[in-house]
Structure 1
Amino acid sequence: MAAASEDQIVSLGMAKGGMTLIDEAQAQALYAGMGAAREISGGSAANTLAGLAALGASCGFIGQVSDDALGTAFAHDIRTGGIAFDTPVRPGEPSTARCLIFVTPDGQRTMNTFLGASQFLPADALDDSVIADAQVLYLEGYLWDPEEPRRAMRRAIATARAAGRKVAFTLSDPFVIARHGDDFRALIDAGDIDILFANEHELAALTGLDDFHAGIAALAPKIPTLVVTRSEQGAYAVSQGEHANVAAAPVAHVLDTTGAGDLFAAGFLFGHVRGQALATCLTLGAVCAAEVISHYGARPEADLTALVAPFLA
């Protein structure tokens, strides 16, 4: 990730604030056009687990890297964070996934993602016993796009449901919904998702309704727990007919919004599995999101347990 000017975003042909899938050649070209960059482990679901582990939760990650330097660094970082990671390395090409992130002075992040080895995660790489033992299976929408991990996630959902576990899903980005919205709506209608995370733009894309409250009213009856983030306007949740709304946690200076939704999900899930009230879960999410946007990178740097302690019952 690197700092970028507004003009640089335009000159490189990027859509500010969005996420675009790119191939390896495009990744190399964008990297060449970057300024001084920071290399930080990431990945949407991995970031959420990093937050959960930092809060003291027991976590395991299922994802695929290649046998290269980036893959080695990712595996080291996630294991060092206390997260179990036993998915076999994929030899040869393509290389490990990467996301080139350009951060403008307003803290907005523009992401360009090469899915690399992650898009070939096979269903037989899953450890069904790990999924069946977890309280919550958490899935990211980004990896619904490639065929192999989509099959793997369908199997994971079936395994979790058969074991009586909850399935949490984050919609990730409106472009994912544009491509796979019918799949997501089918999962919702089938009752396969217990906790759905979205931001207000993803809510509009999924429901086809631009009005926020109309979108909530249309979707909430179909989901046991619906959580929608609204950036500086805070977050809203509906669970079994109960509504909760919290303000965004204060931040002295927003440096980089990368990972805000990922860490919000971490805080919310941490509260949820511990039986905290719905509003408390939202507050924990807001606190964790505020921490991550105060510095570069999508992994927490401060002591999250100390930050959330005042809000726990």
Structure 2
Amino acid sequence: MADAHQKNHDYHIIDPSPWPILASLGAFIMALGGVSYMRYLNGGSFKVAGFELANPWVFYIGFALVLYVMYGWWADTVKEAHEGAHTRVVSLHLRYGMIMFIASEVMFFVAWFWAYFDASLYPNEAIQASRLLYTGGTWPPKGIEVLDPWHLPIYNTVILLLSGTTVTWAHHALLHNDRKGLIQGLTLTVLLGMFFSAVQAYEYAHAPFAFKSSIYGATFFMATGFHGFHVLVGTIFLAVCLIRALRGDFTPKQHFGFEAAAWYWHFVDVVWLFLFFCIYVWGGWGAPVAAG
């Protein structure tokens, strides 16, 4: 009788889980809270079924629920890996899932590059359609002072390229069961990611143009800002991997969590190279450079 229930395949049949429905609920509350938060910031009203929701707390509740689901769901995944559920077939499917996620992220950034190139290659149409402050039919629009690409942006480029090197060092150290090299490489990568975010925050604080003042500012901050958000997410991803490495979770043969983080980080590196050359260098070519 026991043989009838014995597992004789490489697939992982997941036990009933509360995480999918809780994730959907958290995402819905956070989306609803985002609308109510924006109404609150603009001094407006947002009533649902007679309840006034124009406040920031609905968003924070949804956000907290999403974070809880992320922690619980990924903790279950780590537990399943330790129990041997991540067989050869399951590991392959996890890799397919990460590849598809990165492919969706590529298309996400394609949209922002498309918006930037549409505005820069057809400035008359973009500037007229935007109804924003600057005019002139040129790109960057007349009156815009751009950031010097050979100042803070080139520093951040070097930082990210170095971080790509250190995360690769950590990966090779893990493959050779070098725990010290793994932890050192991950620590340096996390620190470099934090340094990149700090430099970009300083750059934004001293930018000579604003998000809402021109089509140049809007497209610049959307593209580089979303990349900055991805750097922040990737830094957290790698920091979690560092904690797991310190706990001894990864082995040379089973470490997909770290491998997925490394893939994501290399993707962030490549996107930045395109941003640097297309937006900072080519996009600001010939325009006056802001002092300082």
Q: TM-score range by the shorter chain?
A: under 0.3
Larger proportion of strand: 1
Select the structure of larger CA radius of gyration.
2
Larger proportion of helix: 2
**How high is the TM-score relative to the length of structure 2?**
0.22
**How high is the TM-score relative to the length of structure 1?**
0.21
Higher normalized contact order (CA 8 Å, seq sep 6+, divided by chain length):
2
